[in-house]
């Protein structure tokens, strides 16, 4: 089977993690969404691949009678008119790794996340741990890349508020805007080194002391008061009690507040985040209290309780940590 799609080929949506692939009106990441094709869907290519200004490759396709474009990284050729044998064999569409616009030393903006933000990972691939979530519109400096993973996805290494990590190129667009904070200088030998967080302060101690006052309080979905908390509502209430206000309510916004803390440098009062608990992705938060434990509004059965951070359940689901108020 051929690895490059041509008109008439049957393609298959693959590698979306079950989220499906957007069919867009134009060959660009901000093109209007016409439909979402589920994992395993089989659209038909209507022409040769094209690429946008960021170097992302798009294939013109027809799906259920609707014409549009879809990202080539999530499409594989399963059958084509020009195939002389091996019909039905799957071959990855070749990505275009070169970009004339996104470049090392330039700035990029987070786009096309529908307001959810993009994961900044410790390596180039979906199997790499998540270090942080960069909100939509964030401007970051490109310090390395591109690298293409086994799925044909292009990743760029960026500096996000002093944290060096990797971001899916499909969610980045070149920009002349400056990063909101000075970017770190790329280092040839220290790209994997985590930034040193600020030292623990009395703020962290106050956060723990305040949180512990509500141990045993009930869990209430959407709750933000001592009458009942959910996980992010508990953190929202406690941190604002200490800081005097201004700390966000949503879990996603909390996960990018303050500064990143390496798990080896956790101090009491740091916020710890988890993924893949009651839902896929970022889904839970608590407050580190020291000695490998954290306090959190866990569920209806336990209410506000204390758990082992690195235990069998929460350890594998650890997501990231942030320090606020330093």
Sorted by sequence, the CB contacts under 8 Å of residue 23 that are 6+ apart come out as 33, 34, 35, 36, 37, 43, 61, 63, 66, 68, 69, 70
CATH of 10-92, one of 3.30.565.10, 2.30.30.40, 1.10.357.10, 1.10.240.10: 2.30.30.40
Q: Where in the chain is the domain with CATH 3.90.1720.10?
A: 202-323
Note whether 39 and 57 are within 8 A (CB): no
Q: Where in the chain is the domain with CATH 2.30.30.40?
A: 10-92, 107-175
Residue 55, by phi and psi: left (phi above 0), alpha (psi -120 to 50) or beta? left
**Cis before 118? omega within 30:** no
* Interatomic CA distance for residues 185 and 198, integer angstroms: 19
Per-residue pLDDT tens over the stretch 34-45: 777 777 788 999
* Interatomic CA distance for residues 12 and 209, integer angstroms: 54
Give how far Cα 239 sits from Cα of 188, 220, 228, 302, 324, Å: 38, 18, 16, 21, 8
Tell me which CATH code domain 202-323 carries.
Answer: 3.90.1720.10
Task: Encode the chain (326 residues) as per-residue pLDDT tens digits.
Answer: 445 788 888 888 877 655 567 888 888 877 777 777 777 788 999 998 998 876 778 899 998 888 999 888 888 888 654 343 333 333 333 333 333 368 888 889 888 776 667 778 888 887 777 777 778 888 999 988 888 877 667 888 998 877 788 888 888 888 888 875 543 333 332 333 333 444 445 899 999 999 999 999 999 999 999 999 999 999 999 999 999 888 999 998 999 899 999 888 999 999 999 988 887 788 999 999 999 999 999 999 899 999 999 988 898 889 999 999 86
Give how far Cα 232 sits from Cα of 224, 258, 284, Å: 8, 15, 7
Hey, what CATH class is 107-175 in?
mainly beta
Note whether 228 and 218 are within 8 A (CB): yes
């Amino acid at each position: 089977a051929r690895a490059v799609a041509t008109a008439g080929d049957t393609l298959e949506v693959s590698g979306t993690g079950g989220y499906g692939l957007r069919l867009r009106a134009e060959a660009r990441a901000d093109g209007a969404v016409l439909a979402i094709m589920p994992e395993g869907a089989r659209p038909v290519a209507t022409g040769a691949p094209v690429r946008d200004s960021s170097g992302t490759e798009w294939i013109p396709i027809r799906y259920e009678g609707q014409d549009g474009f879809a990202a080539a990284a999530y499409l594989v050729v399963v059958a084509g008119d020009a195939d002389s044998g091996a019909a039905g064999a799957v071959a990855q569409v070749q990505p275009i790794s070169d970009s004339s616009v996104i470049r090392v030393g330039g700035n990029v903006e987070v786009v096309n996340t529908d307001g959810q933000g993009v994961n900044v990972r410790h390596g180039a691939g979906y199997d790499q741990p998540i270090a942080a979530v960069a909100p939509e519109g964030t401007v970051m400096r490109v310090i390395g890349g591109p690298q293409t993973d086994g799925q044909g996805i292009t990743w760029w290494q960026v500096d996000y508020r002093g944290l060096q990590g990797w971001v899916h190129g499909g969610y980045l667009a070149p920009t002349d805007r400056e990063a909101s904070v000075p970017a770190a200088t790329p280092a040839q030998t220290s790209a994997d080194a985590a930034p040193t967080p600020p030292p623990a302060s009395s703020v962290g101690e106050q956060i723990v002391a305040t949180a512990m006052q509500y141990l045993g309080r009930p869990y209430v979905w959407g709750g933000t008061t001592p009458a009942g908390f959910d996980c992010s509502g508990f953190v929202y209430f406690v941190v604002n009690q200490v800081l005097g206000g201004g700390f966000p309510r949503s879990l996603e916004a909390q996960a990018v507040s303050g500064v990143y803390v390496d798990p080896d440098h956790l101090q009491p009062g740091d916020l710890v985040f988890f993924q893949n608990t009651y839902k896929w992705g970022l889904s839970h938060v608590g407050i580190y209290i020291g000695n490998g434990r954290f306090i959190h509004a866990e569920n209806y059965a336990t209410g506000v309780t204390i758990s082992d951070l690195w235990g069998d359940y929460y350890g594998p689901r650890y997501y990231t940590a942030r320090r606020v108020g330093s």
